[in-house]
């Protein structure tokens, strides 16, 4: 199954996308347990940012979310968010990891792809929610 690190660590303006990935995380966990008795392995691939045109396609949704939460100059703020996370791993790297996990004798249950995914998943639990929110708002220059 191919998901996203946003299924575990949510960024501002990505709520609907992150919610769908979080649901996929739960469905994958359940499926893995359900098919295990038959020797079927299920792996969840969780990339961080991947360098594709997905961000261009997502831009209108990000702009409307930014406007809905009261961000001034919503378009510029959404573009800034995308620019911060656009430089990610190549799609080829994600594909190599998918093939690798699919051909392993004992595939992993989960596989993080890229430094952003690893940093997010390992670092996020170490930071209290209020501090995390404040740092993200400052880095992305969100708010008035």
Question: Which tens digits make up the pLDDT trace of 76-90?
Answer: 666 666 666 667 888
Summarised one tens digit per residue, pLDDT across range 22-80 is 999 999 999 999 999 999 999 999 998 887 777 667 667 766 766 666 666 656 666 66
Residue 29 is predicted with a pLDDT of 96
**Domain total of the chain:** 1
**Domain that includes residue 90, residue range:** 5-140
pTM of structure: 0.78
Q: Residue 42 contacts by C-beta under 8 Å, 6 or more apart in sequence?
A: 1, 28, 31, 32, 35, 109
The residues assigned a catalytic role are 17
CATH number at residue 32: 3.40.50.720
Q: Residue 43 contacts by C-beta under 8 Å, 6 or more apart in sequence?
A: 1, 101, 102, 107, 108, 109, 110, 111
Residue 5 is predicted with a pLDDT of 92
């Amino acid at each position: 199954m191919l998901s996203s690190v946003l299924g575990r660590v949510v960024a501002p303006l990505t709520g609907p996308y992150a919610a769908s990935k979080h649901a996929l995380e739960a469905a994958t966990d359940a499926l893995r347990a359900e098919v295990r008795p038959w020797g079927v392995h299920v792996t969840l691939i969780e990339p961080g940012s991947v360098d594709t045109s997905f961000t261009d396609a997502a831009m209108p949704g990000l702009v409307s979310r930014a406007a809905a939460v009261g961000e001034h100059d919503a378009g510029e703020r959404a573009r800034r968010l995308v620019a911060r996370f656009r430089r990610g791993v190549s799609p080829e790297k994600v594909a190599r990891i998918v093939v690798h996990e699919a051909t392993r004798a004992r595939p992993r249950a989960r596989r993080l792809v890229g430094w952003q995914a690893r940093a997010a998943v390992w670092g996020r639990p170490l930071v209290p929610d209020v501090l995390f929110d404040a740092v993200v708002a400052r880095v992305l220059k969100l708010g008035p």
